[in-house]
Each structure stands twice: as structure tokens, then as C-alpha cells.
Amino acid sequence: MRPLSSRARWVLSFVGGFVLLSIILINTVPFFGMAWGALSGGPGLGLIRDIRHDLLAQKPFVQTLTEHEQEALRRYRASGTTVYQRRHLVKVNLTPLGLPGFHDIFAVRVRTDIVKKQPYTAFLVRPGVVPSENDAPFFSRQCETTICKKVIRGMVAFGQGLINWGILSTYRLNITGSDATSSVMLGTSPVSTSKWARQSRQMHLSERGTSFTSPTP
């Protein structure tokens, strides 16, 4: 068997390095994990855990949950109301998710249940790989140069083209504070808010969940 030429060895090394780097990025950078999920028919629970971890490490996100819970406690003390649920808009830094220098606005559903004077707060975030006419102008406005704006718009148009051609699968991530209530929804329809609310309520009634403030005295 003839030994490989230096060029063949270089090509094999390049391909091997590319594959290894791709595996590392897919498993460590959420943005690449989302892109791979669109190619492979949907991501796994590991991607949800990664994004959840990154969101809970961002002060504006946690502050939103904390302030929601504090308002729920105020309502409980004032009128005895044990349920408080509403939708919040939160500015999320996308650098930890693999898009340095960019941000997005996430619509976050937050629910607090007071059970035995203890607040339990759940959240639902539903990002995904779905066509959106707002993506190109929203992200390109965050660029300072014309080249960056054109690159962003081109990437968004290319991605939506791949979706239209059926090469990329559309899906939404239902990211919550618990694996038990998190999931992946293939297609463009998100999980219903009422379903998430029922699941969260059942979990809180069993005194399981997360609190962001001290218990009610």
C-alpha cells in the first residue's frame, strides 16, 4: 500500500479538524446547536439546558423574574391572590449564545404561584428556527457598517431560502426552568401558554420549583 502524499495528508487533516471543530461548536455554542438542529430534524434537550443556563446568567433576565415574583407577593399580601402570570419583553445578550455583539428581544411568559406562603416562579421562552420578515431589519440595524448590514441580510435571506427549499427543519424550543416542562416543537407552532401554565401549576402545587425572593412571612 502506497503511503499518502503530503497533500492527501493535509486534506485529511483539514477535514478531520473541520469535523472536530464542528462537533465542539455544536455541543458548546447554542447558535451552532440551533443551526445543526435545523439540519438534523430538531435538537435535543441538551440545547435547551445550554440556553437556559445562559439566560439565567444574564442579569436583566433574572431581574425580570425577580420583579415579577415580588409583584406576585405584593398582590398576595394585598388581596390574597395566589396566581400572577404575564408576558414580559426582555433584552437578551446573544454573545453567550454564539452571536457576539448582538442582542434579541425575547417574549418571556412568567408565572408565580404562592403555595403555603412560598412563591414559586416559572418562565417560558420560545425561540426557534422559523421564517420571520423582522429578522433581517432587526439584526442589521445593530451593525455599524454597510458591509455588516448586507452580510446579515444575506445570511437571513439564505437561511429562509433553505427553509423554503425544505433543507432546514423549522422548530421552536420551549425553554422553561425545568426539564420536565421543556420540549422541542417541530414546525412553526409554539407550545400553548395554557399547557405550560397547567404544567407549572401542578409542579408548584407539589412544592417544586424556583423562588427568586425570600418566602412570605
Average pLDDT over residues 178-196: 90
Average pLDDT over residues 49-77: 96
pLDDT of residue 117: 92
pLDDT of residue 19: 39
Take residue 105 and report the three cell numbers written for it.
Answer: 428581544
The secondary element (H helix, E strand) that includes residue 108 is: strand 103-115
Higher-pLDDT residue of 26 and 69 is 69
β-strand partners of 93: 103
Binned at pLDDT 50, 70 and 90, residue 45 comes out as: confident
pLDDT of residue 36: 73
First-to-last alpha carbon distance for the chain, in angstroms, is: 80
Is the pLDDT confidence value at 182 over 60? yes
Is the pLDDT confidence value at 156 over 80? yes
pLDDT of residue 160: 87
3-state secondary structure of 80: coil
Q: What is the pTM for the complete model shown? A: 0.84
pLDDT of residue 166: 86
> What are the sequence ranges of the domains in the chain?
6-130+170-205
Is the pLDDT confidence value at 7 over 90? no
Is the pLDDT confidence value at 88 over 50? yes
pLDDT of residue 4: 55
Take residue 27 and report the three cell numbers written for it.
Answer: 455541543
3-state secondary structure of 182: coil
Percent of the chain clearing pLDDT 70 (strictly above): 83
Q: What is the separation of C-alpha 87 from the centre of its chain, rounded to a whole number of angstroms? A: 16
pLDDT of residue 18: 37
Mean pLDDT over the full length of the chain: 85
- Give the C-alpha distances (Å, rounded to integers) separating 182 from 48, 173, 190, 201: 8, 8, 12, 14
